[in-house]
Each structure stands twice: as C-alpha cells, then as structure tokens.
Structure 1
C-alpha cells in the first residue's frame, strides 16, 4: 500500500510505501501497478500509539458490564436501580464496574443483598483491587460463610471459581484501532502461559489486532496493609536472578517508598518499572531519579476523578498526584498509559489531561505538572520493550501507523481521537474513516 500526501510530525511532507514493514519514505513516490493508494490529503502520519499499561480482557469485559461509577451512583437508590435493571450475563452473574464509596458508601454482601436482585452479583471498586460480592454470588463461589463478601482482585483462590468466559476482544480491539492504537502492554498480574495462549489465538483469528506484551511474571501489586520490605526485596531479587524486570504497582506514598527501598537493596534491572506512581512526595523524586526506574503513569485520572481528589486528598498533597513534569525535569523516565478499564481507554484524552490537568469540574489540579502536547504524544510512541524510545516513520520500521486528518499543528493543538482517519497494522488498513 502507498500512503500519499502525508505529513510527518516534524512537518516533513512524505509519501510512505508499506508492506509488513515500511518500505520507503520519500517526498514523492509513484504508485506501482495494482498498488492500493491511500490519500492522506495533507494529514499527519505517526507511528501507531502504544498503551503502556492496561488490562485487555478486563477492558473488553467492561464494555458489556454495568457501570456504577460516582457519576451515575450518588446513593443507594441509584445503585439499586442500576443493579435491578442490569442484564444477567451468560455466566449467570451481574457484573458491575467502576464503583466508588462516595456513591453509596462501602459495599459488602449485606448492602448488595439489599440493593440487588437475588442472583449472583459482583461489583468492582474503581481502583481495580477489590470486588464486593452478594450472598448469592458467595454461594456460587463456594464461600457461603464469608464474613463480608469483600474479595481482593489479586486473590485467585476465589476468582478461579468464576466461569471462564472470554469477553469480546474483537469489539475492544476495534475500539482501540479507532484511537490509532497498534500496541498494548497488558499489566494484569499473574498472567501465565494459558493467558498468553489465549491472546495469541485471538491475534491469530484476527480478533485482537494490536501487538501484545504481557508484564507478568514481574508484575506485583502492593497493598498498604501488607507491606513487607524484606519479603519484597527477596521477590525482586529472585525475579532479577531470572533476568525478569519487575513492575511494582504503587498508588500510595507508602507503597512507593517501600518499592524504592526494595529496588535499592535488590539492585536494578534496566527494564524495571513503577506502575502508576499516583502519589509522589517531594522527597521521593530524587530517589526515583537515582533508581533509574521507568514510571508508567496515568494523568487521565486527573480529568476523570480530579474533583473527588479535591475532596478526598488534603490540599497540601494535591501537587503530589499523578506527577509528570516534575519527574521528567528530575530525569525520571516517564511513559503514559490509560489503565483501561479503570481509566478511559482513549489515549488522546490521557494526553489532553497531561497537558491541561483539568478536573471534570474545571479546576486545575497540579498546574506545575503540565507538559507540552508534543511531550504527551511522544510518551505514547515507545515500544513495550523500550517505552522511552519513540518510534519513527522510516524505512524498515514496523508498518504500524496512525493517520490523522489534520496537519501536525492541529493534531497537537487538539489531541483528539476524532482526528484519527485511518489505522494501519503490519501494512494492512484496519480502520478507514474515509
């Protein structure tokens, strides 16, 4: 295929010939006999975006789950209305996602028994670390005597009892193609060979078009009530001994401090990562930089949850939330991601959040953490193995491309997924909005 009349991000006009990889890039290329031609009409062509941290199957499942976030659940009556009207899935469960305690308070089996229908119901907290399950659900899981029905996501002792139904990966993959996303890093913990096989089969069938990299077995979620520096140091050392980099999930200051101490004691792998770094105290910035560890963060949560942060987080700590500019100024390698389904899967919305830092109500949260549009876009252009090395549109590079309908100045000014006109994966046009 030949892409004509394109403009690269640096403003260079270019025609681009692609096969499985980029064959040629020049000011003008003549179509070959029988060659498909795509007219970019002066629009921008980028390397396809890479989402550096999301959860593929959970995001696909969320597309058919009932959403019970604080924007729709403001009290117990709202929760009761949504659960009562929710369809029961083919697995016999009502699955709800995105809940926050600001809606109807802390959920447990008793609250769900009163609020929902008498069928198995499970509701995921928007943090992703906890599920609340009603009595019918606990009975189905073989846990009828569980005291409160609050179950941690990472505890496979209960989740293994759930029916193994695969979500519609094709629907989610098509959504990502609409954003110009061509690569994914799945940060779900405890993924094994069987999960990798499922992903590989989905890609073989064409249901999952994007390239996929799994962080497991080096992903570890830290919890404040279970922080054990000695044990974590041993675990990090064991992974490094196997030449496996670690990815430590840190959303609180305590988790970050313990993670950095473990990395300092165990030594580092060049591909070690801190996931989220939702809260970075001022006195941890220099240590993060010294650790040489990559931070993969999600400033989209400022745009999605910022008003709640203004209520829940002391004002003196607002500047510590979802930092980007401070980290990059200190020399910390930073890449961006969406954390879908816990964040919106649109990477362009995440870029805008990094640039503007506006909450849903219009307040600016952490103005000193704002970065340029070009920097935000670049943080989605790395690869799974090298998130800080932005790819280029050049010969012999993978032919995974995002074609936008406008020139670079407009793209950077708007950072809007609506500008994505086409997505190319391995030289094949998988999205064409005409």
Structure 2
C-alpha cells in the first residue's frame, strides 16, 4: 500500500478524513479522494485518537508471565486450588515450574516448607503479586545454591537457614537458573497493539547490555512494533541510541532503603549525564526520603515519581514545587484494592494512589499498567481511575476519581512527557493512531478494549479488529 485514508473519523470534535503517508499524517480535511494504491477505511464516525502510551511496564516479565502458572486471584483463591494449579503445570525444558501473581490470601505467608507441601517433586519458584518477592521450594533452593548465597535479599531464619524467600533478588536468582533465551515479545506486542498502545516505557531497572540488545532486536525485527523508551538503560547510553534511554530508574525498596547521601549521589550522577530520574516509591517513608534527596541534589526537567502508591496530602504541594510528574497505577485498586485497604492503616486510605489531587495541584499525571504486576489493559485502568472501586465493592477514596476524559488523556501523552497534554493530530505528526468503533463520548461512557478497531504505528496498521 502507498498510504492509508481513514474516512469520516471524529477528530477533536469534528468529522473529517485523515490521510497517512510516509509514516506521518499528511492531510486532514472534510473530503478526500482515495489515491491509487491507497487503502481506504470508513471510520463511520468513530473516534480517531493519538496512540496510547503505557508509561511503566516490564516487557520481558510480561512475556514470561504469559507462559507462567497463575498463582493468585482471580484464577487461584485458596490452597487446594494452588496445589492443583502447580501440579497441572508442565515444567519447562529444564524441569522447572514458574508461578506468578501469588497473594497471601491464597495460602498465607508462603516459604519453602509451605511450597514443598504444594509441590516438591520438581523445582518450583513462585513470584509474589508485587514482583518484589520470589519463593523457592526446597529443590529449587538447592539447585540455586540458596544456602551459600550472599545476596542481602535472601531471607534467613533465626538459625541462619534460608527460608526460601528472596526479596528483590531477581538478578541473583536469574544468574543461578538454567540458561534460557529471553522470551519473544511478539505476543506482547500483539496484545499491546490490540489495546491501542503505540508506545511503551520499560521500567525494569539496571538493564544489562545483553537485555538492551535483546530489546533492540525485538524492536528491529518487528516483534515489538511499539516505540520504546528504557528507564533501565545504562547511564552511559547515548541519547541517540535505539531503543532510547529514558529517565534513570531508581528503586526505593522499603525492605532496604538506601542511605540519604547515597541516594543524593545517585540522583546527581544521573543528572550530570543529562538523565532525569524515575524513582519507585510506594510508601510515605520512601516518598519523604526521595523528596528530601531531590531538595538536596536539585531537580532536572523530566524527573518523575513511579507508583506514588501512598502520598500524604502535605506532600502534594512539594511534588508540585519541585516540578515532578507522577506515573501511577490505579488499576491496582480494581485488581487487588481490598488488600490495599485492609493492609493500610485507615488514616492512610485517603493517600492511596492519588490522582485527582495531583491534577488539581497542577502536577502532571500519567497512568500505566506496571504489567505484569498490574493489568495490562489500559481501558481497565481508565475504568479503575474513574470508579476507584475495589473487588469487594468498596470505593478507595472517591475524592481521587478522575473523569473518563482525564483518565484517557493520562494515557495519551508521549513517552518523554508523561502527564503532558495529548498531542494534536495535525499534518506532519507521526502516524501513531488508534481508531475506535464509536464516537469519543460513547467510548468515554463505557471504556473498553473491545472498542479498539484499528491501531497504526509509524503509518503501518499493526492491529485490525476482525
């Protein structure tokens, strides 16, 4: 095809035709004549939008999750169901079983002994729903050399014996697992395109050169057609590299917070290389540490807070004054908000996953999935941001609700500018587009991935609803 003509689409409140050629929007007008060799699509009044951006996810983890055993709600809700799921699982070519999404509501605080009781005949590793914890059964612990491990995240009992629980020790564990190639991102790219997502930001921290190279191969090969920004690209990565380096990812894990001086130095090191920082914080304590460190180190345009799961009211004005943006995930509320409400002191309920209060204060807010730890579907996240309803039926601080239009806009900003105003569809812009089956007002009244009819990335159709 020499181009694409989308006829009778609603763009910014008006019905028009949009011509795409050479990877860009070439023309918008009330009437257009189909050129030879040009594909024509009748939008029938459906909304034509800039493509969506998922501003925080973990691509290889999403790919791995697709072939892993689900170990938590809604698929698994109790110990017998977990035992059945693990025994039905087919071990990989190295004989291991990999589980994901575990939640304490299923079978309590799982350790090696508890996992042995569920399945002990093959090495099993199960990841907690938060992504911060792996639990190994005894055979897996032996294969990984857990007893002699030196990583600070290896949990031990009073006698010094490993419990089978590893906190934020992904790199250590990965180095001790049987060697396997990184999973293909083809299915991930396909699913993202089906949601209307045309750009993604991989938030995996401290990517190795091999991982960056593998991501580049997947992008070049078309398996991942989305535009790609990497928070974990090594600090020395030139800004012209492909995939592009984004802000430098720093994780403030409450299981082991860095000392203040070290955090200030890391922020400064990133800033000196022209890299803003993207800092993971999920508690009020870690947020206070970050804000104090930024006051000391100084800020750089593009500095951002990842998650902002708990934000005291008095911190909102500080975030605004420092010029930070926030990338947050209200989809967690719809996915497992009962656990957040039950596990958080009542006086902090108003501080959970703030959205509206940031917007009212003038803080740029972007929404994202944190997949595979949160739901990948952006339309479910948009719904969660508007209702803030948890699975049990309660509402988590309704004052923080966004309108559907605000929630959608929080997915439309480009990767480098989370929370910025959505780009306008005008001649000359990159043809990263999503066509919905209905007009905007109807789509906003009931957001759903089922409404995505066509996704175009760089002028090429990457998804077409059959």
Structure 1, unaligned stretches of length 5 or more?
A: none
Aligned-residue offset at 1:191: 1.0
User: Are the aligned partners of 2:283 and 2:310 in contact in 1 as well (CA < 8 Å)?
Assistant: yes
Aligned partners of 1:154 and 1:189 also within 8 Å:
no
2:152 is the alignment partner of 1:150: no
Corresponding residue pairs, total:
433
C-alpha separation between the residues in 2 aligned to 1:16 and 1:44?
12
**Alignment counterpart, residue 325 of structure 2, candidates 290, 294, 300:** 294
Contact 2:146 2:162 in 1 (8 A): no
Instruction: Describe the SS at the equivalent of 2:146.
Output: coil
Is this contact kept in 1: 2:189–2:226, CA < 8 A? yes
User: Which whole-Å deviations, capped at 9, do the CAs of 1:214-248 have from their partners, x for residues lacking one?
Assistant: 01141111122422212111111111112111111
Partner of 1:381: 412
Task: Report 1:393-404 matches (<5 A).
Answer: 393-404=425-436
Q: Does 1:202 align with 2:218?
A: yes
Find the partner of 2:86 among 75, 83, 89: 83
Alpha-carbon distance in 2 for matches of 1:61, 1:316:
37
Give the equivalent residue in structure 1 for 2:351.
320
For residue 177 of structure 1, what is the aligned residue in structure 2? 193
3-state SS in 2 of match to 1:348: helix
After superposition, the Cα gap between the structure-2 partners of 1:204 and 1:371, relative to the gap in structure 1 and judged at 3 Å, is same
- Within 5 A, what are the aligned runs for 1:70-219? 70-145=73-148, 147-162=162-177, 163-216=179-232, 217=234, 218-219=248-249
Which range moves more in the overlay, 153-162 or 274-283? 153-162
SS for the counterpart of 1:260 is: helix
**Equivalent residue of 2:166, what SS?**
strand
Matched, 1:424 2:456: yes
Question: What's the CA shift for 1:362?
Answer: 2.2
* TM-score between both structures, scaled by the size of structure 1: 0.96
Secondary structure class of the residue paired with 1:149 = strand
Please give the alpha-carbon distance, in whole angstroms, between the structure 2 residues aligned to 1:76 and 1:377: 38
Q: Once the 2 structures are TM-superposed, how far is the Cα of residue 305 of structure 1 from its aligned partner?
A: 1.1
Which consecutive aligned stretches of 4+ in structure 1 deviate over 6 angstroms post-superposition?
A: none
Q: TM-score when scaled to structure 2?
A: 0.90
- Give the superposition deviation at 1:379: 0.6
Q: Does structure 2 conserve the Cα–Cα contact (< 8 Å) formed by 1:233 and 1:265?
A: yes
Residue 39 (structure 1) aligned to one of 39, 42, 46: 42
> Can you give the 5+ residue segments of structure 2 that lack an aligned partner in the other structure?
149-160, 235-247
Which residue in the other structure is 2:239 paired with?
none
Query: Partners in 2 of 1:14 and 1:44 — Cα distance?
Result: 11
Query: Counterpart of 2:242?
Result: none
Q: Distance in 2 between matches of 1:91 and 1:39?
A: 50
Q: Is the 8 A contact 1:73 1:104 kept in 2?
A: no
Structure 1 residues 308-352: Cα deviation after superposition (integer angstroms, max 9, x where no partner): 223222222211101000111112221110111001100011111
Give the deviation of 1:144 after TM superposition.
4.4
Distance 1:76 1:356 in 2: 31
The equivalent residue for 1:2 is 5
